[in-house]
Amino acid sequence: MKEFIKNLKFAWNYTKDQKLKLILLFFINILAIIVSILMPIYYAKIMVELSNNNLFNLFIVAIILAFIELARSLINYFNRLIAQIIYKDSFTKIQIELGKETLKLENKVMEENGSGVFIQRLSSDASSLADIFYNLFEYITNLLAYLGKYVGIFIISKIVFLYVLIATILLAIIEKVRAKKINEKDKLVREKKESTSGFIAELVRGNRDIKMLNAEEPFINEFQNKIKDANNELFKMQGIRRKYNLLSSILNNILDFIIILIMIYLLMKKYLIPVNAVILWNYSSVLYGVDYFGRIVDIIKNFNLSAKRVFDVIKGEEFSKEKFGSTHLPHINGDFEFKNVYFSYKKEKVLKGLNFKVNANETVAFVGKSGSGKTTIFNLLCKMYEPQKGTITIDGINIKKLDKDTIRGNITIISQNPYIFNMTIRENLTLVKENLTEEDMVEACKLACLHDYIMTLPKKYDTMIGEGGINLSGGQKQRLAIARAFVQKTEIILFDEATSALDNETQEMIQKAIDNMKKDYTILIIAHRLSTIINADRIMFIEDGVIKNEGTHKELLKNCESYKHLYESELKSRK
C-alpha cells in the first residue's frame, strides 16, 4: 500500500490542475451509487403493483423509474465525458514530460536498452498513469454501491446476509489467488512487448535496407519468433484469466441457485414477503462485486508497475541522464582543445590520451583508418558521450561547466547517415530554426545543391519525405542535412563523412560552399575521400587513439608515410 500511495502522489502531479473536474466526478459517482441502490427497489414495486393489478400506482412507479433511468443515462454520459477530459489532459502532460526526459537520456542508455523499452513507457505505461483516478473512482463507486446493497440485504434478511457474506469470502479467496498469478505473468508479458516493439521499430525504419540485403526471410523469421514468444506469454496470462473466470462463473451459478433455494424456503416459512424477495434477488448481484475487488487489485498492481517504469525515466536512477554545467556563453569564438582524453566503448579502448587544439575559424580534417576514433572525437565534443579521463575545452572553458545551449547551440554535426524526420522539407529545416525566413531557407538549400531538386517536386518545400527520409536518396538526405547545418549557422560545424553519398559533381559544388564558409566558422571534417580535405588548414592523422602526425596536405605527404599510402591508394582506385 505504501508503494501505491507513493505512486499515486507521483501521478497526482499530472492531474492536480483537474481538481474541480475530479470533485465533480466524485459527486456524479455518488449519484450513480444512489441510483444503483434505488433501481432494484422500484423494479420490485413494479412487480408488486402488477401482481395487485393497481394501475394508478403502477403508472406513478413507472414514471419514477423512467426518471431514474434517465438520470442514470445522464450520469453515465457526464461521468465518461469528464473522465475522458481528465485522461486526455493528464496523458498529454505525462507523454510530454516523458518525451522531454527521454531526450535527456545518455546515448549509451538508448543503445543498451533499445527503442522498444521507451516506446512502451511513452504509450501504454503513460496511459495507465493517466487513467488511474478515473479507474479508482469507477471501481470504488461500484464497490460502494455493492456495500449499500449489503446493508440492504442485512436489513431485509439476516439469514440471506450471512449466506452472501460467506459466499463473498469464498469468492474473494479465489480472486486473490487469481490476481497473484496474473501479476507474476504481467511483468514478463511487458518485457516481451518491449522487445517486440523495438523489433517492430527496426522493421519499419530498416525497411529499405532489409529489402536491399535480401534479408526479408531471416528478418521475418526472427520477427515471427519474437511475436510468437510475446503472444504466447500473453496467451498464458489470458489462460489464467480464462480458467479463473470459468471457475468463478460456475461457482456463481451454484451460489445463485442456492440463494434461490434459501429465498423459497424463507417465503414458505413466511420469513420473507415477495417484494423483499425480488429486492434481495436484485441485491444478490453483490456476489459479482468480488470481481470488482479483483479488478481493483489488478489496476493497482498494473498502475504500480507502470508508475515505476515511468518514474525510472523521469526521476529514477536506472537510466542515467546527460549532465551539463551552468555556465552559459551567448557567443563562442569556436576554438577548442582535447587534453589527454581517454575514451572506451565498454571494454574497447578508442582514444588513448588524445591531445590537439583547434583555433577559431580554422578548417581541420581528421584522417585515419576505420575505428581509429575520428567520429568519437565529434561525439565527445558535442557531449554525446563523456570521456573517462582528460578534459575538453571550448574557448578555454571545460565543457563540463558549460550548459547545453552553449555546447549544442553552437555546434552542428552532419553525419554520414543523417536522420531525416518524417515531416515536410520545410519542417525539417524550421525544426532547427523556428523563425527561419523563406529567403534563408532557399539560400541554404541552394548552397547544399538541393533547391533545384526541391522545385521539381509537386509540393516543393511542403513535400513529405517519409520516415527517416525514405523518399530521398542517400545523397539527397545528406544534402538536406547540410542545408540544415547552413540554416543553423553555428560557430562550429562538424562534417562526419557528410558527402560520402554524393556524386563527384555535387561534392565539388558543396566543397566550394564549405570553402566559402572557411575563415567565418570553425570547421572539422572527417572524410573518406582525401581529395575533399586537401585544402584544409590542417590535417590530423589519427592512429591507435592518438594523433600520430599533423600538417597540411603537402606536409603530410612528405612527413607521414601512412597518410601518403592512403592518398596513393585513393589515386589508384580512381584509375
Instruction: Domain of residue 266: give its range.
Output: 2-180+253-314
| Judgement on whether residues 288 and 377 belong to the same structural domain of the protein | no
What's the confidence (pLDDT) of residue 289? 61
φ, ψ (nearest 5 deg) of residue 86:
-60, -45
| Burial of 160 per CB tally in 10 Å (0-12, 13-18, 19+) | buried
Return the number of other C-beta atoms located less than 10 Å from residue 220's C-beta.
Answer: 13
Element containing residue 529 per DSSP (H, E): none
Taken in order 230, 232, 237, 241, is the CA torsion positive or negative?
positive
**pLDDT tens column, 249-292:** 788 778 878 888 888 888 888 887 777 777 777 777 666 666 66
CA separation for the pair 96, 106 (Å, rounded) = 18
DSSP 533: S
- The answer to whether residue 67 is domain-embedded is yes
What is the 3 state secondary structure string of 250-295?
A: HHHHHHHHHHHHHHHHHHHCCCCCHHHHHHHHHHHHHHHHHHHHHH
Instruction: DSSP letter for 496, please.
Output: E
Parts of the chain with a pLDDT under 70: 1, 40-59, 61-62, 114-116, 198, 201-216, 285-294, 467-470, 498-502, 506, 513, 516, 570-575
- Indicate whether 305 and 450 sit together in one domain: no
- In degrees and rounded to multiples of 5, residue 281 shows phi and psi of -65, -40
Q: Is residue 543 domain-resident? A: yes
Q: For position 560, which CATH number holds?
A: 3.40.50.300
The secondary structure of the chain in percent helix, strand, coil, rounded to multiples of 5, reads: 65, 10, 20
Match 499515486 to its residue by C-alpha cell. Answer: 8
The answer to whether 38 and 70 have CB atoms below 8 angstroms apart is: no
DSSP H/E element including 205: helix 158-205
Domain membership flag for residue 156: yes
Alpha carbons 263 and 269: distance in angstroms, whole number: 10
Structural domain contains residue 46: yes
Ramachandran angles phi, psi of 323, nearest 5°:
-120, 130
Q: Are residues 375 and 276 in the same domain?
A: no
Domain-embedded: residue 232: no
Please count the CA atoms within 13 angstroms of the CA of 370 that sit on its side-chain side: 3
**In a shared domain, residues 290 and 372:** no
Residues 278 and 375 placed together within one structural domain of the fold:
no
What pLDDT is attached to residue 401? Answer: 92
Q: Same domain for 268 and 369?
A: no
In terms of domains, do 563 and 434 share one? yes
pLDDT, residue 323, reads 86
Q: What is the C-alpha to C-alpha distance for residues 370 and 527, in angstroms, rounded to an integer? A: 11
| CATH code where residue 162 lies | 1.20.1560.10
Predicted pLDDT of residue 521: 81
If we measure between CA atoms, which residue out of 30, 290, 255, 286 comes closest to residue 152?
A: 286
Specify whether 142 is located in the same domain as 276: yes
Burial of residue 123 (CB within 10 Å: 0-12, 13-18, 19+) is middle
pLDDT value, residue 208: 58
Are 295 and 418 members of one domain? no
pTM: 0.66
Nearest to 10 by CA among 171, 111, 134, 129: 129
Strand duo 492-496 + 522-526: pairing? parallel
E-strand ranges in 395-537 read 397-398, 411-414, 492-496, 522-526
Per the domain annotation, does 331 fall within a domain? no
Clarify whether residues 149 and 284 are in a common domain: yes
Q: HSE (CB half, 13 Å, CA atoms) of 252?
A: 17
What's the pLDDT at 338? 93
How many domains is the chain partitioned into structurally?
2
Give yes or no: residues 297 and 368 share one domain: no
pLDDT at 235 (0 to 100): 84
Domain presence at residue 174: yes
C-alpha R_g of the chain: 35
Cell numbers that stand for 186 in this block: 504481467
pLDDT tens for each residue of 453-478:
899 888 889 988 876 666 777 778 88
Q: What is the pLDDT of residue 501?
A: 60
Cβ(37)–Cβ(149) below 8 Å: yes
Cα atoms in the 13 Å half-sphere on the side-chain side of 494: 24
Same domain, 289 and 374: no
Q: Which cell goes with 419?
A: 536522420
- Provide the 8-state DSSP code for 110: H
Letter for the amino acid at 130? A
Question: Is 271 a member of any domain?
Answer: yes
The end-to-end CA distance of the chain, in Å, is 75
